[in-house]
Amino acid sequence: MATVTSLIGLINKIQRACTLLGDHGGQGMSLWEILPSVAVVGGQSSGKSSVLESVVGRDFLPRGSGIVTRRPLVLQLHKTESGTEYAEFLHAPKKRFTDFVAVRKEIADETDRITGKTKQISNIPIHLSIYSPNVVNLTLIDLPGLTKVAVEGQSETIVEDIENMVRTYVEKPNCIILAISPANQDIATSDAIKLARDVDPSGERTFGVLTKLDLMDKGTNAVDVLEGRAYRLQHPWVGIVNRSQADINKNVDMILARRKEREYFETSPDYGHLASRMGSEYLAKLLSEHLELVIRQRIPSIIALINKTIDELNAELDRIGRPIATDGGAQLYMILELCRAFDRVFKEHLDGGRPGGDRIFGVFDNQLPAALKKLPFDRYLSLKNVQKVVTEADGYQPHLIAPEQGYRRLIDGAISYFKGPAEASVDAVHYVLKELVRKSIAETQELKRFPSLQTDIATAANESLEKFRDESRKTVLRLVEMESSYLTADFFRKLNAEPEKNLNPSDKKKNAEPDKNPNQSHTGDRLNESYLRRIGSNVNAYIAMVCDTLRNTIPKAVVYCQVKEAKRSLLTNFYAQVGSREKERLSAMLDEDPQLMDRRIQIAKRLELYISARDDIDAVCWK
């Protein structure tokens, strides 16, 4: 069976966690709304601060005329064994206050920090813990006093504003209301009772506290109220005698004030029969017992809420990725796994499943043929140029049988035109591959959280692609040069055998008369026009044959050198480098987006708080 101390201490812990997590009881179901709290409610000067202070046993609340409490004060009382008494604020966790005058000042300053020096109010609570051997474990919330009219310097809506704010606290079904009414006023006019009746019609969570019993007119008493006849509540009324203003001025201390209060009831002719159920100490005990009861009823729903929140936090952690391992081996493994994930996506782009690979086919099927078609062989094999090359090739000598050198030079010159389209194919495929690397990195989900590694992989992959491009370029140029280095003699032999076959109709006509065989000697007429035309046309036919060959072999070379290599060894060098890297460098590679890291830290912190809260509750439940 849990003790009062452990149960309330536990709730105090959870409540502190809520405030730390920025949970001020806003919208939705929050822990704050499930946990019970005690709110002190009453009209201004009804004796609220006095009741709170006498329950605590210390003077520490800001006092003054007008509106002093402008933010809720969540006051957690912790009973300690040792004699030192101190206070701590959640907003200044490392600072221990032993001087309660300083506590009072800090409450005032912290109020101003949020609301400014104006008379505005805020619902963000100030969290104060008091550790003392003279208190019971209890959480109290001090709220601004209810007023009836706005005084000078206050906004017109202040009456309403305060009531609304107090309402947001006392409306919650788990809020235990300490409704303070002064005995020297008609109970029927009590602001506290009016509000309490409104939000808790059955009165099951309202504790009626009657202050200023000592200030009642001679000959009158409050027995009717205290015995529940004047206004019936589910819980018994508790009468209180706080220090008077004169006592405060004389610095009458709390301990003495309590003793005097006890004496007052014990010796009172009106209340003597109720003495054991009157006074600040009894009120504190009553509250503590009631809290225990309420908390015990709430434990299942508290655990359910905590579990739900833990599940949600875990799901979010899964979504953004778990924290990365700290040892080098595990980091290396993770990097390689991430690289493999990237590689898978990249291959899907090439082999199908994802778009992009088809663009390589486009290079071979459209770009290359179009570029080949555009080569300026018309101009190169114009009559004028053929004449020029052929004439220059043999110098001053007349050619005897055929212009062998002229042919060779013309063919060489023509073949060198193929270098352009060949290199352009290499480059085009290179850019497609580069773009696929970029896309694959962006599409690899696992890599999303690691911007540094993304850059590293991109750099390594692009370096490899450059290397493949160089290799590919050399290979295609070699293919072109090979065409120059040894001509297909058969082609010309066939020409000799069928002299007319390769001519187009207009050439045939032109050539019909004077020369029937191009290889016939024309020593007398070196520059015969139809003869030159015939040479140009023969070279053109040869080049067309070379062009067909290259149209087929360039794609083979490009795929072999670039595409196949990219699939096979895009990150091979990178793997080798990573394998030999120091642990620090590996950690740097796994650097994450700072925002994401912050978010994870936040979630982890919350998770830790909720898990420890659950452990605490479990421990108390099963004791």
Residues near ligand GTP (CB under 6 A) are: 42, 44-50, 63, 68, 145, 211-212, 214-215, 240-245, 248
In the bound state with ligand GTP, the residue whose beta carbon lies nearer, of 15 and 44, is 44
Nearest to 393 by CA among 380, 407, 379: 407
- Min dist CB 156 to ligand GTP, Å, is 20
**Element holding 22 (H helix, E strand):** none
Phi and psi at residue 44, to the nearest 5°: -60, 140
- Min dist CB 48 to ligand GTP, Å, is 3
- Min dist CB 277 to ligand GTP, Å, is 17
- Min dist CB 91 to ligand GTP, Å, is 22
In the bound state with ligand GTP, the residue whose beta carbon lies nearer, of 241 and 381, is 241
* Spatial contact of 44 and 179, defined as CB atoms under 8 Å apart: no
In the bound state with ligand GTP, the residue whose beta carbon lies nearer, of 163 and 316, is 163
403, two tokens: 């212009």
In the bound state with ligand GTP, the residue whose beta carbon lies nearer, of 36 and 239, is 239
- Min dist CB 159 to ligand GTP, Å, is 14
In the bound state with ligand GTP, the residue whose beta carbon lies nearer, of 78 and 212, is 212
- Min dist CB 245 to ligand GTP, Å, is 4
Determine the Cα–Cα distance for residues 590 and 597; give it in Å rounded to an integer.
12
- Min dist CB 123 to ligand GTP, Å, is 17
Determine the Cα–Cα distance for residues 193 and 367; give it in Å rounded to an integer.
89
CA distance to 22, 259, 614, per residue, from 609 (Å): 13, 41, 9
CA angle 340, 590, 343 (to 5 degrees): 15
- Min dist CB 40 to ligand GTP, Å, is 8
Q: Show Cβ contacts of residue 236 under 8 Å, excluding neighbours closer than 6 positions.
A: 226, 228, 277, 286
> For residue 296, what are the β-bridge partners?
none
In the bound state with ligand GTP, the residue whose beta carbon lies nearer, of 260 and 438, is 260
Determine the Cα–Cα distance for residues 421 and 461; give it in Å rounded to an integer.
25
In the bound state with ligand GTP, the residue whose beta carbon lies nearer, of 46 and 268, is 46
Task: Output b/e per residue, 489-506; b: 16+ Cβ within 10 A.
Answer: eeebeebeeebeebbeee
CA distance to 133, 166, 196, per residue, from 64 (Å): 28, 20, 26
Determine the Cα–Cα distance for residues 261 and 212; give it in Å rounded to an integer.
11
In the bound state with ligand GTP, the residue whose beta carbon lies nearer, of 4 and 51, is 51
Neighbour tally for 575: CB within 10 Å: 15
Give 136's DSSP letter: -
